[in-house]
Structure formats: C-alpha cells, structure tokens
Structure 1
Amino acid sequence: MNDIVDRYVATWNSTSREERDGQLAEHWSSDVTYVDPLADVRGHAELSELIDGVREQFPTFTFSPLGEVDAHHQQARFRWALGPADGEPLVVGFDVIVLDDDGRIRDVRGFLDKVPA
C-alpha cells in the first residue's frame, strides 16, 4: 500500500494535465469517487479539475505523506501534508482509500485536520 499512497501523492503533485491524466488512467479507477469536506467528485475528469483548482490555489506547495500507512484488505488510511517543500505544512489531512479488484484507487474519503484560518 505504500506504493499506492506514493502514486496517490504523485497524482496530486502533478502540475502537468497530461502527466496527471496518465496517472489517473493507470492508477485510479475510471469511476473513482473522491469526497472530502470541500469536494465531492466522480470520475477522472472531475478529479483532475479538482486537482487543478488545488494546484492553482497552492502553485508552489507539495503534498507529502505523513507517518505510516495503515492498511488491510483493499483499503488504506494515511495522513498527508500540503505546504512548502522545506517548511511547515499549511494543510494536514487524513484519507482513506479503497482499491478496486485491479488494485486501482476506486474510492477516497478525505478529512482535513489542519486548514488555514
């Protein structure tokens, strides 16, 4: 599951729409569902648009995993941070992902633990 989380983070860090679309096609189910307190999207196109919005809001920030991945069966939970590469994260979250039978990300449930005021 560490590899899955790395692919997840890499997708969010992608600044190229073409690169991101390739990552979505390879590692995410075509009918993926992504839900967090600020978003509720389905499918590659909507998820890519959501990521574009985050990248526009935080163009120089990067996502990184925090701590260990806890996983069993086809699901994993992990913490992540968004912030400057060498600074304190501005946003910290906690996500649960569920994989489809092909090992691609099918469902994401996100929680925000730290957000800017």
Structure 2
Amino acid sequence: MSSDITTVVKQYLETWNTLVAEERRALVDKIFTEDVEYVDPNVAVQGRAALDSYIEQTQKQFPGFVFSLAGDISAHHDVARFTWHVGPPGAAPVAVGYDFAAVRDGQVRQLYGFFS
C-alpha cells in the first residue's frame, strides 16, 4: 500500500477533528482537489468550500466527538478503503462508517462514505 495514501487518509480524518475554522480550511485545501466530490448518506457536495461547510456543520451537531481510524487502510491504484469510528474521546463509538477515497496527485478527488 502506498504510504502517500495512508498519509492522505490520516490527514482526511484530521480535518474532521480540527475545530479552528482557518486551520481546518487550510487542511481541506491541502488534502482535497479543488473539484472534490464528497458523498455520504446525508449529503452530496462538490468543491472544497462545500465540503468544509459540511464538516463544520457536523462538528456543531456532534460537539466533542472525535473521528478515528478503526483498522488498517486497504489501498491499490490510488484508491483507499478504510473504516472509522466517531464518538466522545475514550468512550465507545456512537457511529461507525467506512469510506472509499480516490486520490489524484496526492489529494482526495472523490470520497464515498457509508455508515454502518
């Protein structure tokens, strides 16, 4: 598996845990292509600004929750699959999901999320 994809996936989860708007937006600009497509059961958005807004809304909806990687990252051909948990730090997760990310030139171009 490409260590670049591992880094990108870890940085992706970091964006969900970054509460300072300017810092989060800097991460979004670094990690995602300008034309990123993000789809999960709650939303389908395109572009960095729309994704950043969705992350901020989610953080407000679940204050204090932390996203974390839940297992290994499986990757091939610039595509990654991984599972994540979200919940209060040190507590059992309140939600589990798995995502598929397509990476282009070291940035996420498409991300499709599913909730378990």
Question: TM class, shorter-chain normalised?
Answer: over 0.9
| 1:1-117 alignment, distance < 5 Å | 1-100=5-104, 102-113=105-116
Amino acid in the other structure paired with 2:33: S
CA distance in 2, matches of 1:26, 1:38: 24
CA distance in 2 between partners of 1:48 and 1:92 (Å): 21
Q: Sequence identity, in percent?
A: 39
> Aligned partners of 2:31 and 2:43: how far apart in 1?
20
Unpaired stretches in structure 2, ≥5 consecutive residues: none
Q: Give the C-alpha shift of residue 8 in structure 1.
A: 0.5
Q: How many Å apart are 1:51 and its aligned residue?
A: 0.4
Secondary structure in 1 matching 2:91? coil
Shift of 1:45: 0.7
TM-score, normalised to structure 2, is 0.94
Q: Please list every run of at least 4 consecutive aligned residues from structure 1 whose deviation after the TM superposition is greater than 6 angstroms.
A: none
Q: What is the one-letter code of the residue matched to 2:44?
A: D
Q: Distance in 2 between matches of 1:96 and 1:46?
A: 19
> 1 CA distance for matches of 2:9 and 2:28?
13
Letter in 2 for 1:18: E
TM-score, normalised with respect to structure 1? 0.93
CA distance in 2: counterparts of 1:49 and 1:111, whole angstroms: 19
After TM superposition, give the deviation of residue 80 of structure 1 in Å. Answer: 0.3
**SS state of the match for residue 19, structure 2?**
coil
How big is the alpha-carbon RMSD for the aligned residues of Structure 1 and Structure 2? 0.7
